[in-house]
Each structure stands twice: as C-alpha cells, then as structure tokens.
Amino acid sequence: MINYKILTKRVAVIIAGLIGLMAVVFIGLYYFQEHPEALKKSERTITIWQPRNVDEDMANAFIMPDVKYGYDLLTQTQRYLGPQAENPQMRLSGNNLKCTSCHLDSGNRPGSGSWAGVTQRYPSFRGRSNAMGSIQDRINGCMERSMNGEKLDIDSREMRAMVAYMDWLSEGIPEDEVENVSGYTNLEPPNMAVDLGKGQQIFTTHCIECHQEDGQGLKHEDFKDGYVYPPLWGDDTFNDGAGMNRVLTAAQFIKANMPYLLATRENPVLTDEEAYHVAGYINSFKRPEKANKDKDYPDLKLKPVSTPYGPWEDDFTAEQHKFGPFPPIIAYYKEKYDIKKSK
C-alpha cells in the first residue's frame, strides 16, 4: 500500500530543495556577471599548480598510451633506443645513459633541466644552429650529443611519444612557473682557471661513492636496466659536443643536483668554486668525439664562452675556453657586442 500523504510530502521536500539549489546557482551566476573580477580572483586562488607525481600517475590505468611510451623511452632509453635495443634499427642512442640521467626525477625536477613547461617554450631561437628550432630539434640535439647518437625521425612514434610525455608534464603550468622550474641554477664563474688537483679532491670526497674512482659508475646487475650510477667520462657517455661537456654548464648542473639526493637547487652542497673545479675535472678525461662540431654556432658571437672546441670569434686560447678563467671572456663579449653570457 502506498501512503500518498507521506509520498506527497517527500516529493514536496525534494522540489523545494531543488528550487533552493537553483536559486543559489542563479544568484551566484548573477553575482559573478555583475562582478567578473570576483570570479577571476577566485579562479586564481583555486588553481595553485603542483608538479605531477609521475610515479603514482604512471601506475594509473587511464594514462594515454603515447604518454606512457614516452615515459618508458625517456627513463629506460638504453633499453628502447640504446646499444641494447632488440631491433638493431632502433639503436639510435649511442650510449647506455637514460635521458633522465641528466633530467632527474623523470624530467620533473626543478633545477635539473625540467621538462615541465618545456613544450610551451618552443619553437625558440637556438644559437647552436642560429635559427628557430622546434622541441623535436631540441630533443634531437640531446640525441646527437648527450646520447652520442643519431636523430629520431620527426614523425616517428618515438618522437611523438616523447613530446606527448613532455606535454603531459606541462599541463596547466602557469607561465611564471615555467621560468622557475627550467634550466639549472645561477653560478658565479670564479676568476681563476680550473684547478684539476682541487677537482680531484672534491670528486674523491663527494662523488666516488656512486660514480666510482674511475668515473665509470655502477651497472645494474642486469645491464638491460642500465646504470644505477651513470659514468661521467669514457666511451659510454655524452660526447664532446654536449652541453654537459662545457665546464660552466656542468658546474651549474652539479651545483643544483649533485651529490645526488643531498643537493637541491635551494640547498646546494658544493660552493660555486667547488662545483666549478669538479666540473673541470670530470671534463678533463676522454669521451666520444662528435663530428662536424666546427659547424656549430654559425654566428660565432653566440657561442657559449666555455665551449671547448673552436672556432671562436675571439683570440682567447683553446685552453682558456676549456678551463677558464671565464670572466675575462665574458667581459670581452659584453664590451664588444653588448652580449651578456653566463656559460
């Protein structure tokens, strides 16, 4: 038996509730129409951007396949693109590093060449080619130098996946955050040449625990997994055309990120001077040689001062371009061309 009295009462309560809710929505809409600035303000307070928690999100079944494949390629590069790749045609990377050997925390760490926001900053001007370059060109720059390998095809599934992952990391990032997380850190180049003796001391104290005395790092038991601690020089590392082979760039990276898990950009362990000497030390050893480096920087004025290979637009020696002191070279470009250089 249906009790119509109770039913009518319930329906009435629900209808009254709905009318009340609609009234609140309409009043709200009316209010924000009259006061659009209030809406802007409330939007700003709710969209506080947080970097993604990559590992947690990757376990999520709803992650796009391209993004997941990009993540795998970037964090396990040796397995998919390196000398160990199953398909010989995919062996485009020449060493067993991972992209994330230098772009730490899956490319998501501020001060470690973070990829959050990176796809928004390209295309951008590149001094190395003296032309506008796309994100794909930039990735290929690291393929040919940091990975001592060959370019990926721009339209390949691998290239699309890498960019998809970077896009995914960048979702919703505000402009001022892009500037904040990108690059490494500031470093005041000391007005002296690298002291290799000091560099070796710092290396022994702060680095050999992981990268080993011979700088060759430590391999995973199953080398398909690559390195636990990557090598810093020798045959299986970045080539001499890489950014990391410039003393000032390496010093900036090291200051913000090494020793691993101890140093952060906000709380570095090494002083500017220590980072500088140890950067010189690791780059004093032999590593693979890139061909045609003399074609880099068609406008020689734009060549970073610590690029250790010629030609240069100035008369400083090759030795000084490799090991400093850099302040006189920086001062020369400031005075002659009004170009401010930091690396």
Binding site for ligand HEC (CB under 6 A): 74, 77, 97-104, 113, 115, 118, 121, 138-139, 142-143, 146-147, 162, 182-184, 206-207, 209-211, 229-232, 237-238, 242-244, 249-250, 254, 258-261, 278, 282
Q: How far from the centroid of its chain's Cα atoms is residue 16's Cα?
A: 56
Residue 333 beta carbon to ligand HEC: minimum distance, rounded to whole angstroms: 17
Residue 263 beta carbon to ligand HEC: minimum distance, rounded to whole angstroms: 8
Give the residue among 181, 297, 176 at the shortest CA–CA distance from 246: 297
Residue 103 beta carbon to ligand HEC: minimum distance, rounded to whole angstroms: 6
H/E stretch holding 81 reads none
Q: Are 252 and 184 in contact (CB under 8 A)?
A: yes
Cβ closest to ligand HEC, residue 41 vs residue 157 = 157
Tell me the two tokens of residue 87: 């398909």
Cβ closest to ligand HEC, residue 26 vs residue 171 = 171
Q: What is the C-alpha to C-alpha distance for residues 88 and 75, in angstroms, rounded to an integer?
A: 20
Residue 286 beta carbon to ligand HEC: minimum distance, rounded to whole angstroms: 14
Cβ closest to ligand HEC, residue 32 vs residue 160 = 160
Q: Which residues pair with 131 in a beta bridge?
A: 126
Contacts 24+ apart (CB under 8 A), 137-145: 139/163, 142/99, 142/242, 143/92, 143/93, 144/241, 144/290, 145/238, 145/239, 145/241, 145/242, 145/243, 145/290
Q: What is the C-alpha to C-alpha distance for residues 63 and 291, in angstroms, rounded to an integer?
A: 40
Cβ closest to ligand HEC, residue 44 vs residue 96 = 96
Residue 231 beta carbon to ligand HEC: minimum distance, rounded to whole angstroms: 6
Cβ closest to ligand HEC, residue 243 vs residue 308 = 243
Residue 38 beta carbon to ligand HEC: minimum distance, rounded to whole angstroms: 36
Cβ closest to ligand HEC, residue 277 vs residue 329 = 277
Q: What is the C-alpha to C-alpha distance for residues 177 and 167, in angstroms, rounded to an integer?
A: 15
